[in-house]
Amino acid sequence: MLNVRINRKKRHPLINIVALTIAATLCGAETWEDVFFWGNLRKKFFSKFLDLTNGISSKDTFRRFFAALDPQVFETHFIQWTKSLVKDMDKEIVSIDGKTIRQASRMREDNPIHLVSAWAGINELILGQVKNKKKHVLT
């Protein structure tokens, strides 16, 4: 998958680069500098399951790695990996839940924020969350 890495320069395992980038992106990181700073803020947590002997990769290492990566190959492997995480979908129940954010309601009584979430219980996974302007009640 990734023959672009030079052996003598491999200070950071591939799993570190990919895992930190995915986690940081899911948490709102938008630049390689964001990924680097986010990873350093959570270094103690990630060191429990990643080999961070050489620390968090630099923003330049993240950038170079993903610039050299074939996007189609990465997509194929990423989809295979995410599918491997899913448990038996035939028995899955998707729960839908709605909430009104209280603090937002106090601050903006005329236009509170309503959230609707979909949760897959067996897989323990939030499938999605949508902000709505109007509260809908099912009867």
pLDDT in tens, 15-47: 899 999 999 998 889 999 999 999 999 999 999
The structure tokens listed for 134 are 């109007």
> Up-side HSE of residue 18: CA atoms within 13 Å toward CB?
12
What is the reported pTM?
0.59
The answer on pLDDT for 2 being more than 50 is: no
* Sequence spans of domains, the chain: 7-85, 89-132
Q: Where are the beta strands (DSSP E) in 36-113?
A: 94-100
Instruction: Give the whole-angstrom CA distance, residue 78 versus residue 36.
Output: 21
What ranges in 5-70 are assigned the alpha helix state H? 14-26, 32-41, 43-46, 59-68
Residue 16 burial (CB count, 10 A): 21
pLDDT in tens, 63-90: 999 899 898 998 898 888 877 877 666 7
